[in-house]
Structure 1
Amino acid sequence: MPTTKDACPCGLGPDFPHCCGRYLGTGVPAPDAEALMRSRYTAFVRGDEAHLLATWHPSQRPASLDLDGSVKWLGLEVKHHKPIDDTHAEVEFVARSRVQGRGQRLYERSRFVREHGHWFYVDGDILS
């Protein structure tokens, strides 16, 4: 597991505390949907189920998560961040991983909603 001194897994910041670390486990809301998306990717890398559940909209949130610790996350590329209005946005991204030695790529357009000053992941469409 990465330490807090490592570069941020999302690929944007020079180090975790000054990038996604501001949002994971702190209660500080991400300023926009892209920052939330990056923090959620980082939570997957770090195995932070609490952050994933806390940032999932209650209408779609699963009761629990069972993250596969054998997944090696390799990188995130945010293709597009599209604010729709003050409370809705979409983020298109590619997340690369390796599972049992095989490279995988998740290409998704995710939908986010802002409620009471906090952005939440709602759902997404897998793209090819």
Structure 2
Amino acid sequence: MNTHFAIAVHALAVITYEGGGPVSAARIADSVGTSPVFLRRVLADLRDADLIAMRRGANGGAELLVDATAISLADIYDAVTTNPLLSIHDAPNPACAVGRGVGDALDVVVATVEEDVRARLAQRTVHQVLQEILAAR
């Protein structure tokens, strides 16, 4: 598992805090605590998911295409996650009674966990996360 999800949520919260953008990658990277180069990779995933647009130039940066009240954490998860949370190893031994059945037994668990995570994430928005951050100050 990587940190792309947390970084993407953080970036979208910064853009929301700054009025929806445009916000420079340098400004967002400063808040996130990462390099602008790495951050741009995460922002590209958000752009590809049509959550943000990227403007070039002196007044450029990332800006929301969707209101923060309508961007769920599940939307972000889908945008930046390429691998499931859990996965089953590739080559269990089919000659072994356990190896032969472990994949089928775990398939249901793995699918359920992913569905549960997505359902929980779908209940929260970027706007809500930002409000919680600001209330904790």
TM-score, normalised by the number of residues in structure 1:
0.30
Give the structure with the higher percent helix: 2
